Structure formats: structure tokens, C-alpha cells
């Protein structure tokens, strides 16, 4: 049987991870000189607080190849076939680490680049796990993943630009002006990279812009939607309700883990549509 391996940046709810026996390889994050392992010794809520008070933008680190190699060996020894789906290779070195881990363990795993982050990555893992459980072959699962990867719309609404300023992608002066003018940013994921979609002024216009994107969607039947948030459950549930009302589809909502929250910032969200 095909068994799934992924990394902790997928932000899948723990309930689903356990239900489908998914092996999750953790990334790590360093805050003011102290290193934490995602999903092991720091919760999303604890991280959000530490991130706010950090002197500099926390640094994230990919897992070592040996972690992937061990997971692959374990699955192979059980008589199963490993399928590993990682965070976008354009956002992290985790995909490359998984490839090296596969080489170390005899090249018997299939390593797939999600070209996504957070639940847009996690939904691919969930899809693959469900397809494997239903008896689908590897080539059938990969075909479904490629189709989803091409069609998913990844929207990243940022309530604050503070982490972008800390990361050096925006000057402090620009960040201050944006804060004074209440300018909010909506980014989008494009082929594994993050690009600007639009800037809006004010919370009301910000919300309307996201709703407009949702209302213009034409997803195929059975699409799974996902929303992760950084201490912003209220807005996440608001958009969940809007999606459910329009499409009558499954919508997964979860707290955003440390790796993706580092880039989204407080109140930020990532929507996999």
C-alpha cells in the first residue's frame, strides 16, 4: 500500500494526520537564538506570541535528509510504498532534502513537489492519502496531484507587513506608511512562488477583495478548500462560511504553524481555493 510522508509546514490538522497514518517530518525555527521543532516543542499559539516579541524575523530550517531516509525505510520495511509530498522547492530546501533522503534509503520512494505551502500543500497530502486508501495506483495519484497543483488558487491576505519589513523585503519607512494608511496586501502563490496580487486600503475593502476572489472561482466538483490563520480564527471562519455557502464543499480550517506563520505575520491567512 502507498503510505504518505510530508513535512510539518503542510499545516494539516492532527486528527487527519492520525486518521491516514501520515508521517510528518518536522522543520525547525530559531527565535532570538533558541531553536524549536515545529509540532514538537512549540505550539502555533506559543509561536505567534514569541514571533511578535522577537527582535528579528525568526529563521526557519529544513529537516536533515536522514529524517526522510528513516521514514522511507520504515515504510518500505513494513512492505509499503512511500510517497513524499513537500513544501514548494521555491520556498524551502525541504524538497531537496527529501530527494537526498530517498537516495540514502535506496531510491524506492516517490518525492513530489507540491509547489505550495500550508494547506494548499496539506490538501495534496490528504488527497493522496485518500486516493491510496481507496486503492489507487501511484501513477493515478500523481496525475490527480498534478491536476490539483495546476488548478489551485493560493491567496495570502496579510493584515500586517511587519514580518515583511523584518525580513528585509520592504523598508521600514514603507512599512510605517502602509500602517498609517491602513494598507493591506493580498499575495498569491504562482507556480511555487509568492507574488503580489493587489493592495487595498482599509479592512472593509480588504475583506471585499477576498470575497470577490472566492465568488469568481470555478472549481471542479469535489474540490477540498483550506484556510490557515495566524491568531485570526474569526476571519478564517467567515471565509469558510462564504466558501461553504457558494460551493457546498469541504473546507478545512487550521491554525498556521510556525514555518508558514513566519512569513504571513500576525492575523495573516493562507487560502487554498
Q: What is the pLDDT of residues 95-151, one digit of tens each?
A: 999 999 999 999 999 999 999 999 999 999 999 999 999 999 999 999 999 999 999
The 8-class DSSP code of residue 42 comes to: B
How much is the average pLDDT of 143-169? 84
d(CA 72, CA 272): 28
| Inter-residue contact 235 to 211 (CB < 8 Å) | no
Domains of the chain: 2-27+62-151 (3.40.50.10170), 154-272 (3.30.1180.10)
Question: Is the pLDDT higher at 67 or at 166?
Answer: 67
d(CA 152, CA 163): 25
Label residue 166 by pLDDT band (50, 70, 90): low
pLDDT in tens, 172-214: 545 444 454 577 889 899 998 888 888 888 889 999 999 999 9
Output the DSSP codes for 176-217: HHHHHTTEEEEEEEETTEEEEEEEEESHHHHHHHHHHHHHT-
- Rounded (5°) CA angle 154-38-111: 60
What is residue 84's predicted lDDT score, i.e. its pLDDT? 99
Nearest CA among 137, 62, 75 for reference residue 105 = 75
d(CA 247, CA 215): 9
Question: Is residue 54's pLDDT more than 90?
Answer: no
Label residue 160 by pLDDT band (50, 70, 90): confident
- CA dist 96 → 99, 111, 155 (Å): 5, 9, 25
Question: Is the pLDDT higher at 52 or at 131?
Answer: 131
pLDDT in tens, 212-246: 999 999 998 899 999 999 999 999 999 999 999 99
What is residue 195's predicted lDDT score, i.e. its pLDDT? 86
174 φ, ψ (degrees, to nearest 5): -60, -40
| Inter-residue contact 132 to 138 (CB < 8 Å) | no
Q: Would you state the torsion angle of the CA atoms of residues 147, 148, 152, 158, taken in this order, to the nearest 10 degrees?
A: -140
What is residue 167's predicted lDDT score, i.e. its pLDDT? 55
How much is the pTM? Answer: 0.93
d(CA 3, CA 20): 9
pLDDT in tens, 57-106: 899 999 999 999 999 999 999 999 999 999 999 999 999 999 999 999 99
What is residue 177's predicted lDDT score, i.e. its pLDDT? 43
Q: Could you tell me whether strands 225-229 and 251-255 are parallel, antiparallel, or unpaired per DSSP bridges?
A: parallel
d(CA 118, CA 36): 18
How much is the average pLDDT of 42-63? 92
| Inter-residue contact 233 to 12 (CB < 8 Å) | no
| Inter-residue contact 217 to 153 (CB < 8 Å) | yes
Amino acid at each position: 500500500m502507498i503510505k504518505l510522508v510530508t513535512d510539518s509546514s503542510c499545516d494539516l490538522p492532527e486528527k487527519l494526520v492520525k486518521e491516514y497514518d501520515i508521517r510528518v517530518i518536522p522543520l525547525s525555527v530559531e527565535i532570538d537564538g533558541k531553536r524549536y521543532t515545529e509540532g514538537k516543542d512549540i505550539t502555533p499559539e506559543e509561536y505567534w506570541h514569541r514571533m511578535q516579541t522577537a527582535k528579528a524575523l525568526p529563521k526557519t530550517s529544513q529537516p536533515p535528509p536522514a529524517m526522510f531516509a528513516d521514514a522511507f525505510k520504515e515504510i518500505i520495511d513494513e512492505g509499503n510504498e512511500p510517497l513524499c509530498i513537500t513544501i514548494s522547492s521555491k520556498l524551502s530546501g525541504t524538497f531537496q532534502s527529501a530527494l537526498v533522503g530517498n537516495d540514502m534509503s535506496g531510491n524506492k520512494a516517490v518525492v513530489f513537489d507540491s509547489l505550495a505551502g500550508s494547506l494548499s500543500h496539506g490538501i495534496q497530502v490528504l488527497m493522496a492519502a485518500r486516493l491510496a486508501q481507496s486503492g489507487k495506483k501511484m501513477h493515478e495519484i500523481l496525475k490527480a496531484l498534478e491536476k490539483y497543483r495546476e488548478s489551485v488558487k493560493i491567496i495570502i491576505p496579510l493584515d500586517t507587513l511587519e514580518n515583511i519589513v523584518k525580513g528585509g523585503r520592504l523598508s521600514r519607512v514603507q512599512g510605517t506608511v502602509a500602517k498609517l494608511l491602513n494598507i493591506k496586501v493580498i499575495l498569491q502563490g504562482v507556480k511555487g512562488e509568492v507574488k503580489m496580487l493587489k493592495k487595498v486600503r482599509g479592512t472593509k475593502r480588504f475583506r471585499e477583495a477576498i470575497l470577490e476572489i472566492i465568488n469568481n472561482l470555478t472549481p471542479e466538483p469535489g474540490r477540498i478548500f483550506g484556510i490557515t490563520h495566524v491568531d485570526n480564527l474569526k476571519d478564517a471562519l467567515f471565509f469558510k462560511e462564504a466558501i461553504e455557502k457558494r460551493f457546498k464543499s469541504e473546507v478545512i480550517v487550521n491554525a498556521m504553524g510556525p514555518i508558514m506563520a513566519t512569513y504571513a505575520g500576525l492575523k495573516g491567512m493562507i487560502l487554498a481555493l
